[in-house]
Amino acid sequence: MVVLHVKRGDDHVFLYETSVNTDTDTVIRELVSVFNGRLKVQRICMEMEELAEHGTMLPEQMRQLNDDQIEELHLKDEWADKCIPMGGFTFNKDPLCRRNGQQPNEAMRKVLEKAMADAKAMIDKNLCKTNTVLTLKIVEEALNILRGAVMIVYPMKLPPHDTIQMEFINMEDLTGTQASKEVIEPSKAQLWFAGHQVLPGKQLKDYLGSNDKTKVVVKLNQLGEGPPGREQVVNEQLRRQMMAANFKRQEELRVS
């Protein structure tokens, strides 16, 4: 099996194992699914940190309003009494006024924190350094760990408008967010190898050759971004060693 070292720009993202006989359409689709799946795990973990501190998300019309404004507009969080965390809560006001302040107790926070730590470890880009491949199944397992922890802490489920709940059912709206710029739209995805675009309708061996026991660097980007920068033939450490050796040689020649 060939190992694809997937990069986005200069960022090392994950390793993916496949066969050189695989259709390029399939490879691109699977790489994008894993790439976007990692981003989803990261987004959910960021929101779960807020959930553990400040409870469930307020309805959209109540967000970023202070208490006086909420009272003046006669607004009420109808889900506050329905979505109480297991074991009760203490009030911890959200300074961003996005969540209702019903912080889960310490035991339940630990459940959320452990799930986040486990899920992050499963999709960590540092797995590239240990030659650990990532699959869509692993990404889905990470999502299930997060989903399970939320169900333990919130057996009555989260409000339907909570960002975490919307992520779980794939109804998230990333419009206007930084996250929307990070996601690769499948229909616009492009894969590159050695400065050449890996085109749909072919097989991976058309670009990598027939050696099914190799490891290569490939890059993902989107239509309109242009070709990504080519990989350096000489890495930075080796470049410095070569420069030092060359300087030493010049000094020896100068002295002699």
pLDDT tens digits, 198-247: 999 999 999 999 988 899 999 999 998 888 876 654 456 655 766 776 77
- Do 15 and 131 touch, CB atoms closer than 8 A? yes
Check: CB of residue 79 under 8 Å from CB of residue 159: yes
DSSP 202-214: SBTHHHH-S-SS-
Which pair of tokens denotes residue 203? 């097989």
Which is nearest to 44 in space by CA: 137, 169, 153, 132?
A: 169
Mean pLDDT, residues 133-151: 98
pLDDT of residue 212: 87
Cβ of 213: how many Cβ atoms within 10 Å? 8
DSSP state, 85?
P
In a domain, 238, yes or no: no
C-alpha 20 chain-centroid distance:
26
168 vs 44: CA distance, rounded Å: 9
Q: Provide, rounded to the nearest whole percent, the portion of the chain with pLDDT above 90.
A: 85
Residue 242 included in any domain: no
Q: What 3-state DSSP class applies to 177?
A: coil
Q: Is residue 249 part of a domain?
A: no
Structure tokens at 125: 């880009």
Residue 88 falls inside a structural domain: yes
Task: Tell me if 189 is assigned to some domain.
Answer: yes
Per DSSP, the residues of 47-72 read HHHHHHHH-SBPPGGGTT--HHHHHH
| Encoded tokens for 26 | 């399939």
Distance of alpha carbon 7 from alpha carbon 13, whole angstroms: 5
**112 residue type, one letter:** L
Q: Which residues contact 183 (CB under 8 A, 6 or more apart)?
A: 36, 39, 174
Task: Kindly state whether residue 256 falls inside one of the protein's structural domains.
Answer: no
User: With 0-12 CB in 10 A as exposed, 13-18 as middle and 19+ as buried, what is 118?
Assistant: middle
pTM, two decimals, is 0.87
- CB within 8 A of 50, min separation 6: which ones? 94, 98, 99
Is residue 163 predicted with pLDDT exceeding 70?
Answer: yes
Query: How far does CA 19 lie from the centroid of its chain?
Result: 25
In this prediction, what percent of the chain has a pLDDT beyond 70? 94
Map tokens 């990692």 to a residue.
Answer: 38
- Tokens representing 130 are 């240990």
| Residue 54 falls inside a structural domain | yes
Residue 42 belongs to some domain of the structure: yes
* Number of domains, the chain: 1
User: Distance between CA atoms of 152 and 2, rounded to whole angstroms?
Assistant: 40
Calpha distance 162→77 (Å, rounded): 12
Nearest to 154 by CA among 41, 77, 51: 51
Q: Which residue range(s) make up the domain with 94?
A: 2-222
Question: In the prediction, which pLDDT does 256 show?
Answer: 61
pLDDT at 234: 44
> pLDDT tens digit string along 83-92?
999 999 999 9
